Structure 1
Amino acid sequence: MTCAELLIRLLRDTYGTDTVFGIPGVHTVELYRGLAGGEASGLRHVTPRHEQGAGFMADGYARATGRPGVCFIITGPGMTNIATAMGQALADSVPMLVISSVSRRDTLGRGQGRLHELPSQQQLIAGVARFSQTLLDPDALPETLARAFAVFEGARPGPVHIEIPIDLFDAPVRAPRTWQRRALAPAAPAEAALAQAVDWLGTAARPLVLLGGGCVDAPQAARSLVEALDAPTVTTINAKGLLGRDHPLDLGANASLPAVRALAREADVVLAIGTELGETDYDVVFDDGFHLDGRLIRVDIDAQQLARNQAADLALVANADQALEALAARFAGVRLARDGGARTRAALAALDLPRDPAFAAYVPLFATLREALPEAILVGDSCATTYAANHLVAQPAPRRFFNASTGYGTLGYGLPAALGASLARPDLPVVALVGDGGIMFTLSELACAVEEGLPVVILLWHNQGYEEIRRFMDSAGVTRLGVDIRAPDFLTLAQGFGCLATRVAAPAELAHALATRPADGPLLIEIDAAAWQTAVD
């Protein structure tokens, strides 16, 4: 078999890949011969309209399932196009496998002006990947893929890039001795450190738990542990839904707000698992005001992360799921009384988010969504509705809320990532939260949504430009420039793609649009922000 055919078989038969996102090009024709061959009949190919869209789709697919999203990308411009999506996935520890072509081996680095040539594609992409490797020996492909999936399963995940010279796609290769996947046991916490953590948590008077996106695959252990500890718990944006909807100990993703910060300062023992303790979760007001004065226990799969942001008194290098399950087992049958529920209620009452002027207009929006689509996955761009949802929305399970406001904070993420989530979870409705500014970055992916028949609801909040940047300019005393931009007629554009579209200005109209959404294709719902504000006041 050829190297391209071996790649397809390994992805499908060994690693369980069922979907690939990519745009074919002259350098990847042989790869597509392998993809379209009879043996690859179980592998779905989805064609986005831009490589950045391919990366965001793979990201949404990965976050919705926990399995790596896979992309096939052309040499040169294809890779520079997908680099932004890889940056977002790197920042949020999202598993993504990017397979690309690269120039022939005998021309690499020679600067001959070859088609799509870069001085070093591998070096350029290495900065947005856990690792980037050039395959120079086709028989090394199984080992290289095994390394990639070892990162996804046993280390801090993120994008991995493997580039294959175009003269190797049709090179003959030996079949591997076995198609069986190598089993990889996740890292467990050290017993002595675990015992110390149990002692500190068991004797704490005012414990606080911080759960991040690394914990999303252990919801039962997470609930058991925080209930045993009777500890108020911050669930970050990427951990939303981990404790279930409206859990009495869940403070939500509100660590940047005063009442939750007060709890953090008062806590005598803080347990932080699978969280960076980074700015976009704990300091979205950008004042460096999140302080932990008590003993800090940190658990992370990445040893380097344990030395960043907040100094730990006890640091455990371990898989977050393993640590949660081990701690939950140590406290099995225990129900400590620390007034956790009362402390959580008091903090949420002090926040009073539904009455906060910054959030009040969005409360009926998310109430309408919750009533109409209670099980939906919400996927957000960097936009006003997403920022509000980070604080207001509660989800029934993990992996049903993610967005681009964390980490890298790119624009254009919401629409294609929602398509990836819909492909991954066709059993659940998917809603994209986007703004009139950000959607213009990847609006072309409406064509892919229509082509694939994906019933994604695209909730477009139209506030006439870049509202967040307007506010920052006004606050800084900077004259507005480049933020009051002209928007197109989104309904006409959507209909041109073959996408149903409507405009609403009040909760009742939104409820009707959601109730009558199509089952076999996308629906764009444009909300006039000014009219909505008037309707809900």
Structure 2
Amino acid sequence: MNCAQHLIALLEAHGVDTAFGIPGVHTIELYRALGDSGLSHVTPRHEQGAGFMADGYARASGQPAACFIISGPGMTNIATAMGQALADSVPMLVISSVNQRATLGRGQGRLHEMPHQGETLAGVSVFSHTLHDPAALPEVLARAFAVFASARPGPVHIEIPLDVMTAPAPDTVATPTSVFPPAPAPAALARAGDWLVEARRPLVLLGGGTTAVPELARTLVDRLDAPTFTTINAKGVLGRDHPLDLGATQSLPAARRLAAEADVVLAIGTELGETDYDLVFDGGFRLGGRLIRIDIDPQQLGRNQTADLALLAEAGQAMRGLLDVLPDAADRDGAARAEAVREALALGADPELAPYVPLYATLREALPEAIVVGDSTGPVYAGNFLAAMPAPRRWFNAATGFGTLGYGLPAALGAAVARPDQPVVALVGDGGLQFVLGELGTARDLGRPVALVIWNNDGYDEIRRYMSMSEVPHLGVDLAAPDFRALAEAYDCRHAGVTDPASLHDALGRLCEAESPLIIEVDATAWSASL
């Protein structure tokens, strides 16, 4: 085997079954090997789309996909998607080419030449490695999958020089090492258990690190009888309408009062970051009691909020350990405390959220099991407060972390590849969608019944509103949307125009009538007028 063939064989051994990429002259050897493998391949229309698709694939399935990317412009194109995945702890394996070893760093103007490509991509990856010896490939891949399995995950970049790509490699494929994540220290579990038993007003914060173990999370929360905030990436961990679940409302006044009044706070798998706990950007989220933090990343244990007790551990092992040291469930009026916060929040009556309440009620009624993937757009910001999901990995978007535009459609396509058994809805604005219109071609190629719901308000309405509040003239935000019906026809997609909840329900009901994408265009002005 040459190195490219060896790479494909190793990916299969590690359980990778899907690659996203655009073939180029510098990656053609990867495609020679790919044709005889068991990996499926999806061709996006832009490398950024490849990264977003791999991101959506991983969030929906819990498993990493690979991206095959050319050197130079391919890597700068995918960098934005890698930044989003790094911010949200999403595993992704990016394999790229780079020029021959003898030419690296010499500035000779070769095709796709980029000074210090690996160093450039290191800023949006857990690590970036240049492979100089084919024999080292199993070790480098083992490092990547060790990160995915036992550390805070994120993108890993491996670049392979052109002459290494075709060089001879070992004929045998090593069996991947079984890697187990860190377990909590018994003494720390015992102390945490004591504090939680003594607590009268406990509070639990569940982050994206708990999505793989929802049953344990529910059991622990019920045992503690503690009101619980689930972050945007943890939405659905407690199931739909759990009496203790307060969702991602940590930035709102009534939720903050609850946090300040708690005597013991248990935070599991959450970075306690701004985009989950301080969306009003005033630094007002304060914890009044003792803080117990559990995280798989030791550096995370010291960020944002100072812990009184920090446990380095994978969320599942930590929760099992806590359940072993906690007695049977105690009555701490958890459901009543949570309900009081819900009543004070009164989300359904908030005028800022009013246009979106029937949107999510309709989605829930028409497609209760759907995976909903969002862009950075008004309906998604509202949905982070309003949407309730039956299970984890059913709600994710680009309104957190890196906060990029153009994420929704390609990430939804990645989710559809990962979970063909689930209906998938992409919820986007007309402005953000125009970043990635070409991916309608990928949607057509896949032939999956993905619903693309466009909230059409002719421009960047969120920025427009901020400009108004700041008394800034509306410059650069009033954009005429394209003719989405004509685009749907051009890309062999179905189209439905929507002006009210009833017409949206009818359109969603037709999603699975054909194996093709369905573009649902919501006239935001008419929608609001209909309510």
Equivalent position of 1:459 in the other structure: 453
Does residue 99 of the first structure (1) align with residue 95 of the second (2)? yes
Within the candidate set 414, 425, 430, 1:420 is matched to 414
- Structure 1 residue 208 and structure 2 residue 213: aligned? no
Distance in 2 between the 1:516 and 1:240 partners? 27
Q: Quick check: 1:473 aligned with 2:467? A: yes
TM-score normalised by the chain length of structure 2: 0.99
Alignment partners' CA distance in 1, 2:182 and 2:516: 42
Which digits, 9 at most, give the CA deviation of each residue in 1:456-510, with x for residues without a partner?
Answer: 1001001111111111111111111111112111111121111111111011111
1:287 aligns with 282
Q: Is the 8 A contact 2:17 2:65 kept in 1?
A: no
Residue 23 of structure 2 aligns to a residue whose secondary structure is: coil
Aligned with residue 132 of structure 2, among 136, 151, 159 = 136
Q: In 2, Cα distance between the equivalents of 1:330 and 1:534?
A: 55
SS at match of 1:167: helix
2:455, 2:447 → 1: CA distance?
Answer: 23
Q: Secondary structure at the match of 1:442?
A: coil
Decide whether the 8 Å contact of 1:269 with 1:296 is kept in 2.
yes
Distance in 1 between the 2:325 and 2:454 partners?
47
The one-letter amino acid of 1:111's match is: G
Q: What corresponds to 1:35 in structure 2? A: 34
Contact 2:189 2:325 (8 Å CA) reproduced: no
Q: Shift of the alpha carbon at 1:18? A: 1.0
Structure 2 residue identity aligned to 1:172: P
> Following TM superposition, by how much is the alpha carbon of 1:274 offset from its aligned partner in structure 2, in angstroms?
0.3
TM-superposed deviation, 1:179 = 3.7
The residue aligned with 1:252 is 247
> Matched residue of 2:431: which SS?
coil
Q: Which moved more, 1:107-116 or 1:516-525?
A: 516-525
How far, CA to CA, are the matches of 2:466 and 2:301 in structure 1?
Answer: 32
Once residues 23 and 329 of structure 2 are traced to their aligned partners in structure 1, the CA distance between those partners, rounded to angstroms, is 57
2:190 and 2:221 mapped to 1: Cα distance? 17
The corresponding residue for 1:19 is: 18
Q: What's the counterpart of residue 406 of structure 1?
A: 400
CA distance in structure 1 between the aligned counterparts of 2:215 and 2:30, rounded to whole angstroms = 42
- Letter of the structure 1 residue corresponding to residue 115 of structure 2: P
* 2:311 paired residue number: 316
SS of 2:297's equivalent in the other structure is coil
2:515 is matched with which residue?
A: 520
Give, in whole Å, the separation in 2 of the partners of 1:327 and 1:478.
Answer: 52
Supply the AA of the counterpart residue of 1:436: D
Aligned partners of 1:218 and 1:325 also within 8 Å? no
Matches within 5 A, 1:77-92: 77-92=73-88
Matched, 1:489 2:488: no
Would the aligned equivalents of 1:61 and 1:423 in 2 still touch at CA under 8 Å? yes
Tell me, in whole angstroms, the C-alpha distance in 2 between the residues paired with 1:69 and 1:105. 27
SS of alignment partner, residue 441 of structure 1: coil
Matched, 1:52 2:48: yes
In structure 2, the residue matched to 1:242 is 237
Structure 1 stretches of 5 or more lacking a match?
A: none
From 164, 178, 182, the counterpart of 1:183: 178
Alignment correspondent of 1:297: 292
Q: Which runs of 4+ in 1 moved over 3 A?
A: none
Could you tell me how far apart the structure 2 residues matched to 1:514 and 1:431 are? 9
2:39 is the alignment partner of 1:64:
no
Q: What does 1:139-154 align with in structure 2 at a 5 Å threshold?
A: 139-154=135-150
Q: Alpha-carbon deviation of 1:175?
A: 2.7
What CA distance in whole angstroms lies between the structure 2 residues aligned with 1:327 and 1:397?
Answer: 23
Deviation at 1:201, TM superposition (A): 0.5
CA shift, 1:437, in A, is 0.5
Matched, 1:164 2:160: yes
Q: Could you tell me how far apart the structure 2 residues matched to 1:79 and 1:127 are?
A: 12
Q: Secondary structure at 2:437's aligned position in 1?
A: helix
2:437 to 407, 432, 443: 443
- Higher mean C-alpha deviation, range 490-499 or range 122-131: 490-499
- Give the equivalent residue in structure 2 for 1:383: 377
TM-score (norm 1): 0.98
**What's the RMSD between the two structures over aligned residues?**
0.9
Contact 1:225 1:331 in 2 (8 A): no
Q: Distance in 1 between matches of 2:406 and 2:58?
A: 17
Letter in 2 for 1:251: L
| 1:217 equivalenced with 2:216 (yes/no) | no
Note the alpha carbon deviations across 1:39-92, whole angstroms, 9 max, x for none: x0x210100000000000000000011111210000100000000000000000
- Separation in structure 2 between the aligned mates of residue 56 and residue 69 of structure 1, nearest angstrom: 11
Following superposition, the deviation at residue 283 of structure 1 comes to 0.6
Distance in 2, matches of 1:520 and 1:24, equals 26
Q: Alignment length, in residue pairs?
A: 530
Summarize deviations over 1:174-199 as a string: whole Å, max 9, x none.
134x5422111111111111111000
The one-letter code sitting in structure 2 at the alignment partner of 1:462 is N
1:356 alignment counterpart: 350
**Aligned with residue 231 of structure 1, among 202, 220, 226:** 226
Distance in 2, matches of 1:424 and 1:83, equals 22
Deviation larger for 468-477 or 415-424: 468-477
Contact 2:208 2:231 in 1 (8 A): yes
For residues 345 and 458 of structure 2, the distance between their equivalents in structure 1, rounded to whole angstroms, comes to: 29
Distance between the aligned counterparts of 2:132 and 2:57, measured in 1? 30
- Match of 1:443, SS state, is coil
Percent identity, aligned pairs only? 66
1:396 to 381, 390, 404: 390
Which amino acid is 1:260 matched to?
A
Q: Residue 448 of structure 2 aligns to which amino acid in structure 1? A: L
